[in-house]
Protein backbone atom coordinates (compact mmCIF):
# COMPACT_ATOMS: atom_id res chain seq x y z
CA UNK A 1 0.00 0.00 0.00
CA UNK A 2 1.20 3.43 -0.88
CA UNK A 3 -0.94 6.50 -0.20
CA UNK A 4 -3.91 4.21 0.34
CA UNK A 5 -3.51 2.54 -3.02
CA UNK A 6 -2.21 -0.88 -3.87
CA UNK A 7 1.14 -0.95 -5.58
CA UNK A 8 1.44 -2.32 -9.09
CA UNK A 9 4.74 -3.08 -10.78
CA UNK A 10 5.57 -4.20 -14.28
CA UNK A 11 8.41 -3.95 -16.70
CA UNK A 12 9.32 -4.55 -20.30
CA UNK A 13 12.58 -5.17 -22.02
CA UNK A 14 13.80 -2.80 -24.67
CA UNK A 15 15.05 -5.55 -26.94
CA UNK A 16 13.62 -6.10 -30.38
CA UNK A 17 11.03 -4.01 -32.17
CA UNK A 18 7.87 -3.71 -30.14
CA UNK A 19 4.86 -5.32 -31.73
CA UNK A 20 1.14 -4.87 -31.76
CA UNK A 21 1.11 -7.87 -29.40
CA UNK A 22 3.10 -5.94 -26.78
CA UNK A 23 0.72 -3.02 -27.12
CA UNK A 24 -2.61 -4.89 -27.05
CA UNK A 25 -1.39 -7.55 -24.62
CA UNK A 26 0.13 -5.23 -22.06
CA UNK A 27 0.60 -1.49 -22.57
CA UNK A 28 -2.94 -0.65 -23.59
CA UNK A 29 -4.26 -2.23 -20.39
CA UNK A 30 -1.69 -0.59 -18.16
CA UNK A 31 -3.10 2.78 -19.09
CA UNK A 32 -6.42 1.99 -17.45
CA UNK A 33 -4.79 0.99 -14.13
CA UNK A 34 -3.14 4.23 -13.12
CA UNK A 35 -6.11 5.62 -11.20
CA UNK A 36 -6.71 2.54 -9.16
CA UNK A 37 -3.09 1.61 -8.36
CA UNK A 38 0.15 3.30 -7.50
CA UNK A 39 1.98 2.17 -10.60
CA UNK A 40 5.65 1.57 -11.27
CA UNK A 41 6.59 0.80 -14.86
CA UNK A 42 10.20 0.08 -15.56
CA UNK A 43 12.26 -0.16 -18.70
CA UNK A 44 14.26 -3.15 -17.50
CA UNK A 45 17.53 -2.46 -19.24
CA UNK A 46 19.55 -4.42 -16.69
CA UNK A 47 17.73 -7.57 -17.71
CA UNK A 48 18.56 -6.88 -21.34
CA UNK A 49 22.30 -7.35 -20.93
CA UNK A 50 21.82 -11.00 -19.97
CA UNK A 51 22.14 -11.45 -23.73
CA UNK A 52 24.77 -9.54 -25.68
CA UNK A 53 23.61 -6.09 -26.82
CA UNK A 54 25.04 -3.37 -28.99
CA UNK A 55 25.34 -0.51 -26.45
CA UNK A 56 24.16 2.24 -28.81
CA UNK A 57 21.21 0.16 -29.94
CA UNK A 58 20.23 -0.75 -26.38
CA UNK A 59 20.36 2.89 -25.29
CA UNK A 60 18.25 3.98 -28.24
CA UNK A 61 15.69 1.23 -27.78
CA UNK A 62 15.38 1.92 -24.08
CA UNK A 63 14.61 5.54 -24.86
CA UNK A 64 12.09 4.48 -27.50
CA UNK A 65 10.38 2.17 -25.03
CA UNK A 66 10.24 4.92 -22.44
CA UNK A 67 8.73 7.23 -25.06
CA UNK A 68 6.26 4.57 -26.05
CA UNK A 69 5.05 4.13 -22.45
CA UNK A 70 4.23 7.83 -22.39
CA UNK A 71 2.85 7.96 -25.95
CA UNK A 72 0.54 5.05 -25.14
CA UNK A 73 -1.05 7.20 -22.46
CA UNK A 74 0.86 6.47 -19.26
CA UNK A 75 1.13 9.87 -17.65
CA UNK A 76 4.62 10.19 -16.10
CA UNK A 77 3.15 12.46 -13.42
CA UNK A 78 0.80 9.76 -12.26
CA UNK A 79 2.91 6.68 -12.95
CA UNK A 80 6.48 6.14 -11.92
CA UNK A 81 8.11 5.37 -15.26
CA UNK A 82 11.84 4.84 -14.99
CA UNK A 83 14.90 2.99 -16.21
CA UNK A 84 15.86 0.08 -13.98
CA UNK A 85 19.55 0.99 -14.33
CA UNK A 86 18.89 4.43 -12.80
CA UNK A 87 17.95 2.88 -9.48
CA UNK A 88 20.93 1.09 -7.96
CA UNK A 89 18.70 -0.54 -5.36
CA UNK A 90 17.67 -3.15 -7.92
CA UNK A 91 21.19 -4.54 -8.12
CA UNK A 92 21.75 -4.21 -4.39
CA UNK A 93 18.59 -6.03 -3.42
CA UNK A 94 19.18 -8.63 -6.12
CA UNK A 95 22.51 -9.49 -4.48
CA UNK A 96 20.86 -10.08 -1.13
CA UNK A 97 18.06 -12.12 -2.68
CA UNK A 98 20.66 -14.19 -4.54
CA UNK A 99 21.86 -15.38 -1.15
CA UNK A 100 18.35 -16.62 -0.35
CA UNK A 101 17.69 -18.37 -3.66
CA UNK A 102 18.70 -21.95 -4.38
CA UNK A 103 20.49 -23.15 -7.48
CA UNK A 104 17.91 -25.90 -7.72
CA UNK A 105 15.07 -23.39 -7.90
CA UNK A 106 16.76 -21.43 -10.65
CA UNK A 107 17.60 -24.63 -12.51
CA UNK A 108 13.91 -25.33 -12.89
CA UNK A 109 13.13 -22.07 -14.70
CA UNK A 110 11.93 -22.93 -18.17
CA UNK A 111 12.89 -19.52 -19.56
CA UNK A 112 16.49 -20.11 -18.46
CA UNK A 113 16.52 -23.48 -20.20
CA UNK A 114 15.09 -21.96 -23.38
CA UNK A 115 17.47 -19.01 -23.39
CA UNK A 116 20.48 -21.15 -22.53
CA UNK A 117 19.65 -23.35 -25.52
CA UNK A 118 19.25 -20.32 -27.75
CA UNK A 119 22.43 -18.57 -26.58
CA UNK A 120 24.62 -21.61 -26.01
CA UNK A 121 27.76 -19.51 -26.53
CA UNK A 122 26.87 -17.13 -23.69
CA UNK A 123 25.27 -18.92 -20.76
CA UNK A 124 26.27 -16.31 -18.21
CA UNK A 125 25.49 -16.12 -14.51
CA UNK A 126 23.20 -13.15 -15.12
CA UNK A 127 21.02 -15.24 -17.39
CA UNK A 128 20.79 -17.81 -14.60
CA UNK A 129 19.92 -15.29 -11.89
CA UNK A 130 17.61 -13.24 -14.13
CA UNK A 131 14.57 -14.24 -12.03
CA UNK A 132 16.28 -12.96 -8.88
CA UNK A 133 16.72 -9.51 -10.41
CA UNK A 134 13.09 -9.65 -11.41
CA UNK A 135 12.19 -10.56 -7.82
CA UNK A 136 14.19 -7.54 -6.66
CA UNK A 137 12.28 -5.29 -9.09
CA UNK A 138 9.01 -6.42 -7.64
CA UNK A 139 9.87 -6.64 -3.94
CA UNK A 140 11.73 -3.33 -3.84
CA UNK A 141 8.44 -1.42 -4.13
CA UNK A 142 6.41 -3.64 -1.77
CA UNK A 143 4.34 -4.54 -4.80
CA UNK A 144 0.84 -5.95 -4.36
CA UNK A 145 0.07 -6.85 -7.95
CA UNK A 146 2.08 -7.65 -11.06
CA UNK A 147 0.42 -7.80 -14.46
CA UNK A 148 2.40 -10.47 -16.29
CA UNK A 149 1.93 -12.78 -19.18
CA UNK A 150 1.72 -16.51 -18.68
CA UNK A 151 5.37 -16.85 -19.74
CA UNK A 152 6.43 -14.88 -16.64
CA UNK A 153 4.27 -16.70 -14.10
CA UNK A 154 7.08 -19.00 -13.04
CA UNK A 155 9.22 -15.95 -12.27
CA UNK A 156 6.46 -14.45 -10.19
CA UNK A 157 6.15 -17.74 -8.29
CA UNK A 158 9.83 -17.78 -7.41
CA UNK A 159 9.54 -14.13 -6.34
CA UNK A 160 6.82 -15.11 -3.92
CA UNK A 161 8.88 -18.06 -2.64
CA UNK A 162 11.92 -15.88 -1.99
CA UNK A 163 9.81 -13.22 -0.28
CA UNK A 164 8.07 -15.75 1.94
CA UNK A 165 11.37 -17.39 2.82
CA UNK A 166 12.84 -14.08 3.93
CA UNK A 167 9.70 -13.06 5.76
CA UNK A 168 9.85 -16.34 7.67
CA UNK A 169 13.41 -15.68 8.76
CA UNK A 170 13.25 -11.96 9.48
CA UNK A 171 9.63 -11.12 10.11
CA UNK A 172 7.61 -9.17 7.63
CA UNK A 173 9.94 -7.42 5.24
CA UNK A 174 8.17 -7.90 1.95
CA UNK A 175 4.64 -7.65 0.66
CA UNK A 176 3.84 -10.91 -1.12
CA UNK A 177 2.95 -9.97 -4.69
CA UNK A 178 0.14 -11.50 -6.68
CA UNK A 179 -0.41 -11.83 -10.38
CA UNK A 180 -2.77 -9.19 -11.64
CA UNK A 181 -5.83 -10.88 -13.00
CA UNK A 182 -7.84 -8.15 -14.53
CA UNK A 183 -9.35 -7.77 -17.91
CA UNK A 184 -6.89 -10.08 -19.62
CA UNK A 185 -4.76 -8.53 -22.28
CA UNK A 186 -5.42 -10.00 -25.66
CA UNK A 187 -3.04 -12.75 -26.68
CA UNK A 188 -2.02 -11.88 -30.21
CA UNK A 189 -0.59 -14.63 -32.40
CA UNK A 190 1.82 -14.55 -35.35
CA UNK A 191 0.19 -13.55 -38.64
CA UNK A 192 2.18 -16.24 -40.43
CA UNK A 193 1.76 -19.07 -37.92
CA UNK A 194 -1.25 -18.55 -35.65
CA UNK A 195 -0.10 -21.34 -33.33
CA UNK A 196 2.81 -19.11 -32.20
CA UNK A 197 2.69 -15.90 -30.18
CA UNK A 198 3.39 -12.68 -32.11
CA UNK A 199 6.96 -11.99 -31.08
CA UNK A 200 9.39 -9.14 -31.45
CA UNK A 201 12.12 -11.69 -32.11
CA UNK A 202 10.33 -13.49 -34.96
CA UNK A 203 12.63 -13.78 -37.97
CA UNK A 204 9.82 -13.34 -40.48
CA UNK A 205 8.88 -9.63 -40.55
CA UNK A 206 5.47 -10.50 -42.01
CA UNK A 207 4.61 -12.43 -38.86
CA UNK A 208 4.43 -9.34 -36.65
CA UNK A 209 2.94 -5.88 -36.85
CA UNK A 210 5.56 -3.52 -35.45
CA UNK A 211 4.28 -0.46 -33.67
CA UNK A 212 6.34 1.69 -36.01
CA UNK A 213 5.08 0.07 -39.24
CA UNK A 214 3.60 2.59 -41.64
CA UNK A 215 0.01 2.30 -42.80
CA UNK A 216 0.81 0.55 -46.09
CA UNK A 217 3.04 -2.01 -44.41
CA UNK A 218 0.35 -2.80 -41.86
CA UNK A 219 -2.21 -3.30 -44.59
CA UNK A 220 0.14 -5.46 -46.67
CA UNK A 221 0.97 -7.68 -43.66
CA UNK A 222 -2.71 -8.24 -42.86
CA UNK A 223 -3.47 -9.04 -46.49
CA UNK A 224 -0.76 -11.71 -46.37
CA UNK A 225 -1.91 -13.10 -43.02
CA UNK A 226 -2.36 -16.87 -42.99
CA UNK A 227 -5.99 -17.97 -42.78
CA UNK A 228 -7.55 -21.24 -43.98
CA UNK A 229 -9.72 -22.63 -46.74
CA UNK A 230 -13.00 -22.74 -44.80
CA UNK A 231 -14.19 -19.50 -46.34
CA UNK A 232 -16.35 -18.41 -43.42
CA UNK A 233 -15.65 -15.97 -40.64
CA UNK A 234 -16.25 -17.80 -37.38
CA UNK A 235 -14.55 -17.54 -34.01
CA UNK A 236 -13.39 -21.07 -33.30
CA UNK A 237 -10.34 -23.26 -32.60
CA UNK A 238 -10.46 -24.85 -36.05
CA UNK A 239 -9.72 -21.47 -37.64
CA UNK A 240 -6.80 -20.07 -35.61
CA UNK A 241 -5.76 -17.55 -38.28
CA UNK A 242 -9.23 -16.07 -38.63
CA UNK A 243 -9.70 -16.15 -34.87
CA UNK A 244 -6.47 -14.21 -34.40
CA UNK A 245 -7.63 -11.55 -36.85
CA UNK A 246 -10.91 -11.32 -34.96
CA UNK A 247 -9.02 -11.10 -31.64
CA UNK A 248 -6.98 -8.21 -32.94
CA UNK A 249 -10.09 -6.50 -34.28
CA UNK A 250 -11.92 -6.97 -30.97
CA UNK A 251 -8.98 -5.75 -28.86
CA UNK A 252 -8.61 -2.64 -30.97
CA UNK A 253 -12.30 -1.83 -31.23
CA UNK A 254 -13.23 -2.94 -27.72
CA UNK A 255 -15.95 -5.33 -28.87
CA UNK A 256 -16.66 -9.01 -28.22
CA UNK A 257 -15.97 -11.87 -30.65
CA UNK A 258 -19.73 -12.40 -31.04
CA UNK A 259 -20.21 -8.83 -32.14
CA UNK A 260 -17.32 -9.09 -34.57
CA UNK A 261 -18.60 -12.34 -36.08
CA UNK A 262 -21.97 -10.67 -36.62
CA UNK A 263 -20.35 -7.66 -38.21
CA UNK A 264 -18.53 -9.86 -40.75
CA UNK A 265 -21.35 -12.30 -41.46
CA UNK A 266 -21.30 -13.27 -45.11
CA UNK A 267 -18.04 -11.41 -45.82
CA UNK A 268 -14.95 -12.92 -47.40
CA UNK A 269 -11.49 -12.99 -45.81
CA UNK A 270 -10.39 -10.03 -47.95
CA UNK A 271 -12.97 -7.79 -46.30
CA UNK A 272 -11.98 -8.97 -42.83
CA UNK A 273 -8.29 -8.39 -43.46
CA UNK A 274 -8.88 -4.92 -44.77
CA UNK A 275 -11.11 -4.01 -41.84
CA UNK A 276 -8.54 -5.28 -39.33
CA UNK A 277 -5.79 -3.38 -41.14
CA UNK A 278 -7.81 -0.17 -41.04
CA UNK A 279 -8.74 -0.59 -37.39
CA UNK A 280 -5.11 -1.20 -36.44
CA UNK A 281 -3.93 1.79 -38.46
CA UNK A 282 -6.53 3.90 -36.70
CA UNK A 283 -4.70 3.32 -33.41
CA UNK A 284 -1.12 3.09 -34.69
CA UNK A 285 -1.16 6.32 -36.68
CA UNK A 286 -2.02 8.54 -33.68
CA UNK A 287 0.40 6.56 -31.50
CA UNK A 288 3.21 7.19 -33.98
CA UNK A 289 2.33 10.86 -34.20
CA UNK A 290 2.47 11.14 -30.43
CA UNK A 291 5.83 9.33 -30.39
CA UNK A 292 7.21 11.84 -32.90
CA UNK A 293 5.95 14.77 -30.83
CA UNK A 294 7.50 13.37 -27.67
CA UNK A 295 10.77 12.64 -29.42
CA UNK A 296 10.88 16.25 -30.57
CA UNK A 297 10.31 17.55 -27.02
CA UNK A 298 13.49 16.22 -25.46
CA UNK A 299 13.34 18.35 -22.32
CA UNK A 300 9.88 17.14 -21.36
CA UNK A 301 10.92 13.48 -21.38
CA UNK A 302 14.28 14.21 -19.77
CA UNK A 303 12.44 15.94 -16.95
CA UNK A 304 10.11 13.00 -16.49
CA UNK A 305 13.05 10.58 -16.52
CA UNK A 306 14.87 12.55 -13.85
CA UNK A 307 11.88 13.10 -11.57
CA UNK A 308 10.68 9.52 -11.78
CA UNK A 309 14.14 8.04 -11.18
CA UNK A 310 14.26 10.09 -8.00
CA UNK A 311 10.83 8.96 -6.95
CA UNK A 312 11.70 5.31 -7.64
CA UNK A 313 14.96 5.66 -5.70
CA UNK A 314 13.12 7.07 -2.73
CA UNK A 315 10.77 4.09 -2.42
CA UNK A 316 13.44 1.58 -3.38
CA UNK A 317 15.78 2.84 -0.69
CA UNK A 318 13.12 2.55 1.96
CA UNK A 319 12.83 -1.17 1.35
CA UNK A 320 16.53 -1.65 0.77
CA UNK A 321 17.57 -0.04 4.07
CA UNK A 322 15.07 -2.18 5.92
CA UNK A 323 16.39 -5.36 4.33
CA UNK A 324 20.04 -4.39 4.84
CA UNK A 325 19.36 -3.86 8.51
CA UNK A 326 17.50 -7.16 8.85
CA UNK A 327 20.30 -9.19 7.29
CA UNK A 328 22.88 -7.59 9.58
CA UNK A 329 24.65 -4.87 7.62
CA UNK A 330 26.04 -2.09 9.79
CA UNK A 331 24.10 1.10 10.18
CA UNK A 332 25.06 3.85 7.74
CA UNK A 333 26.72 6.82 9.37
CA UNK A 334 24.69 9.94 8.64
Binding site for ligand TRP (CB under 6 A): 9-13, 44, 47, 134, 137-138, 146, 148, 152
* C-beta of 44 vs 291, nearer to ligand TRP: 44
Sequence length of the chain is 334
Give the Cα separation of 208 and 201 in Å (integer): 9
* C-beta of 146 vs 191, nearer to ligand TRP: 146
Residue in 114, 100, 96 with CA at minimum distance from that of residue 50: 114
Q: Is 220 left (phi over 0), alpha (psi -120 to 50) or beta?
A: alpha
CB of 323 to ligand TRP, least distance (A): 17
Within the chain, strands assigned E span 6-12, 37-43, 80-83, 145-146, 178-179
311 is catalytic: no
For residue 2, count CB atoms less than 10 angstroms from its CB and return exposed for 0-12, middle for 13-18, buried for 19 or more.
middle
* C-beta of 187 vs 325, nearer to ligand TRP: 187
Of 187, 200, 223, 318, the catalytic one is 200
Give the Cα separation of 142 and 304 in Å (integer): 23
Of 6, 28, 115, 273, the catalytic one is 115
Residue in 67, 64, 85 with CA at minimum distance from that of residue 15: 64
Give the Cα separation of 272 and 228 in Å (integer): 13
Give the Cα separation of 164 and 174 in Å (integer): 8
* C-beta of 94 vs 225, nearer to ligand TRP: 94
200 is catalytic: yes
Q: Which residue is nearest to ligand TRP (CB)?
A: 11
* C-beta of 9 vs 222, nearer to ligand TRP: 9
CB of 187 to ligand TRP, least distance (A): 14
CB of 210 to ligand TRP, least distance (A): 18
Contact in structure between 60 and 53 (CB atoms under 8 Å): no
CB of 21 to ligand TRP, least distance (A): 12
Residue in 200, 13, 167 with CA at minimum distance from that of residue 97: 167
Contact in structure between 82 and 42 (CB atoms under 8 Å): yes
Of 6, 28, 197, 273, the catalytic one is 197
CB of 199 to ligand TRP, least distance (A): 12
Positions marked active-site: 115, 197, 200
Amino acid sequence: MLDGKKVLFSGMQATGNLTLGNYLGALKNWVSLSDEYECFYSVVDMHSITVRQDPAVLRKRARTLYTLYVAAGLDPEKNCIYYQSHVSGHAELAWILNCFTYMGELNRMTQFKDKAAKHADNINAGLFTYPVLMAADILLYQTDVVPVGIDQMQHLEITRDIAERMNNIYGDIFTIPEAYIGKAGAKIMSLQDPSKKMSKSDENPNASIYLMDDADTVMRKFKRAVTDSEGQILYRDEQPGVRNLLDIYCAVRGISPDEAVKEFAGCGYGVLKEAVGEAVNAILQPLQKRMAELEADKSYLDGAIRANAEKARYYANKTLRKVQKKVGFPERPR
